[in-house]
Amino acid sequence: MQTLYTVNSILRFILEIFSLYILIKIGFSKYNFPVNFVVGIVLPLFVISIWMLFIAPKSLFEINKILCLTIEVILFSIVSYFIYNKISSNFGVIYFIFILLNSGLNWLNNLNQNH
């Protein structure tokens, strides 16, 4: 089971980087100024800030695991929304399912480590 959690952690890191890349790419290729600035720069910086403060393993604030899971799914869902509306609805749905599975496995791993 630990191997599954390790693979999930690696995929999670790739998913985090990919999510930022997607926001930047969509922001600058699918919108005009000033929306491109907001989606391509401000939104990724916002996501990074929230992740750094609350979600990251060494985050500045330790919050309830359910709240942490909720925030992370919301952040990933924002990316899924942009993929769905600006790239491909099928890819957006697949991405959303993948983030739910990934976040769920990560949450289970965190529960197992705390017990």
pLDDT of residue 57: 81
Q: Which residues contact 15 (CB under 8 A, 6 or more apart)?
A: 76, 98, 99, 102
Q: Are 19 and 76 in contact (CB under 8 A)?
A: yes
Confidence label for 80 from pLDDT (cuts 50, 70 and 90): very high
Confidence label for 64 from pLDDT (cuts 50, 70 and 90): confident
Domain ranges of the chain: 2-114
Helix axes 65-86, 2-30, angle to 10 degrees: 40
Confidence label for 115 from pLDDT (cuts 50, 70 and 90): low
